[in-house]
């Protein structure tokens, strides 16, 4: 091959590479809290280049106690938002906020009621607790369902100030908790707990839902599909592959996070089968069943959590971008 031809080929390669770098679609994704293992799939797809392979230049905006990313989505400051559960999406539809859920990365809501180990024989026995610490959000979300379906009483309620101290100091106290957080923190203080997952007792919302704007779904479905697919692959690699680079990005965003804590959180995610379970085993991580969305909507209405008139659940969520088996070909057996 002559020198001129080699130079031409090299120049063409550089030009193609430059064009590809300019062709990346910029995407801003917001999380619902400080960086943690529950955001691992997003950080993994960013760290290992999966987003870039899908033509995306992704920036992750971390949430936190002083950050409310929710209004940033409808305002166009974010393209995607990691939300909490379907109640928020139902509320958006009722208030004509044009957002929609496109993936459900937690097949179970991680919300639990936490008690000192052995103090209550089962979930139903928690109705005898004198004190249950609950946040305002908990009081207006799952609490009405607990009252209606299990017989919990408003007299049991006390405000939860996001401190473990009241719980740790009273063996009979029960409090709300996130399955991958407070039980771990209590154990570090030498207190073993029983964590009763609400999802195991019928609270069947998806958790860690991925929302986007309706206009993106309608006008740029290819971008939505690429982001969802790349994130699903990220989750498979985070759960079953080398997640060290994702750990680094998470700890860089959240300096209070440690490898030990990430390992403990990830172990809880796997133990409780929050992400890869049920329909995801055949349809892929992030799977959504519209029948299940309807079922949870009816639960919320019957419990009085939702008081507005009927909404169209197809405006709250769509299964258009999931259930395609993405990531199943690269999934590895978890031998950890």
* pLDDT value at residue 336: 43
Residue 134, pLDDT score:
97
Q: With contact defined as beta carbons under 8 Å apart, do 204 and 302 qualify? A: no
pLDDT recorded at residue 24:
97
Tens of pLDDT, residues 304-325: 999 867 899 999 999 999 999 9
**What is the model's pLDDT at position 15?**
43
Closest alpha carbon to 224 in 88, 315, 318, 288 = 318
Is residue 333 over pLDDT 90?
no
pLDDT tens digits for range 29-62: 999 999 999 999 999 999 999 999 999 999 999 9
Per-residue model confidence (pLDDT) at position 193? 98
The answer to whether residue 184 scores a pLDDT higher than 90 is yes
For 6-27, what is each residue's pLDDT tens digit? Answer: 444 444 444 444 444 468 999 9
**What pLDDT is recorded for position 46?**
98
Residue 22: the pLDDT is 63
- Range of lowest pLDDT (70-74, 222-226, 316-320): 70-74
The arithmetic mean of pLDDT across residues 102-129, rounded, is 98
Select the more confidently predicted residue: 220 or 64: 220
* Sign for the pseudo-dihedral over CA of 97, 100, 105, 110: positive
3-class DSSP state of 115: strand
Model confidence at 89, pLDDT cuts 50, 70, 90, reads very high
Nearest 5°: CA angle at 238, between 269 and 89?
60
Q: Which two tokens stand for residue 71?
A: 């209004």
Right CATH number for 111-201 from 3.40.50.300, 3.40.50.620, 3.60.20.10, 3.40.190.10? Answer: 3.40.190.10
The whole-number pLDDT of residue 309 equals: 75
pTM greater than the 0.75 cutoff = yes
The whole-chain average pLDDT of the chain stands at 92
Mean pLDDT on 268-276: 96
What CATH number does the domain located at 24-107+205-315 have? 3.40.190.10
DSSP secondary structure letter of residue 127: G
User: pLDDT band for position 105 (50/70/90)?
Assistant: very high
Where do the domains of the chain lie? 24-107+205-315, 111-201
Give the up-direction half-sphere exposure of residue 315: CA atoms within 13 A in the CB hemisphere.
12
Q: What is the DSSP letter of 66?
A: T
Q: Do the first three CATH levels of 24-107+205-315 and 111-201 match, i.e. the same topology?
A: yes
Beta bridge partners of 207: 85, 106
């Amino acid at each position: 091959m002559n020198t001129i031809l080699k130079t031409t080929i090299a120049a063409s390669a550089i030009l193609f590479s430059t064009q590809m770098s300019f062709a990346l679609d910029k995407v801003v994704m917001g999380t619902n809290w400080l960086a943690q293992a529950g955001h691992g799939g997003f950080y993994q797809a960013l760290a290992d280049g999966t987003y870039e392979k899908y033509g995306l230049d992704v920036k992750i905006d971390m949430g936190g106690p002083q950050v409310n990313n929710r209004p940033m989505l409808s305002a166009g400051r974010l393209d995607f938002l990691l939300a909490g559960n379907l109640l928020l999406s139902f509320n958006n539809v009722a208030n004509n906020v044009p957002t929609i859920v496109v993936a459900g990365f937690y097949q179970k809501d991680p919300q639990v009621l936490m008690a000192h180990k052995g103090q209550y024989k089962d979930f139903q026995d928690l109705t005898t607790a004198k004190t249950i610490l609950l946040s305002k959000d908990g009081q207006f979300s799952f609490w009405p369902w607990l009252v209606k379906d299990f017989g919990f009483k408003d007299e049991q309620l006390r405000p939860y100030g996001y401190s473990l101290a009241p719980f740790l100091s009273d063996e009979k106290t029960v409090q709300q908790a996130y399955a991958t957080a407070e039980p771990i923190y209590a154990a570090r203080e030498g207190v073993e707990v029983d964590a009763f997952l609400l999802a195991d007792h019928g609270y069947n919302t998806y958790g860690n839902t991925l929302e986007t704007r309706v206009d993106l779904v309608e006008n740029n479905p290819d971008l939505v599909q690429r982001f969802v697919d790349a994130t699903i692959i990220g989750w498979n690699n985070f759960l079953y592959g080398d997640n060290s680079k994702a750990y680094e990005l998470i700890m860089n965003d959240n300096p209070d996070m440690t490898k030990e804590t990430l390992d403990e959180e990830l172990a809880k995610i796997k133990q409780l089968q929050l992400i890869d379970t049920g329909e995801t085993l055949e349809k892929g991580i992030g799977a959504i069943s519209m029948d299940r969305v309807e079922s949870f909507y009816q639960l919320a209405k019957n419990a009085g959590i939702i008081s507005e008139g009927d909404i169209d659940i197809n405006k709250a969520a769509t299964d258009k971008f999931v259930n395609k088996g993405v990531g199943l070909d690269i999934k590895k057996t978890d031998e950890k």
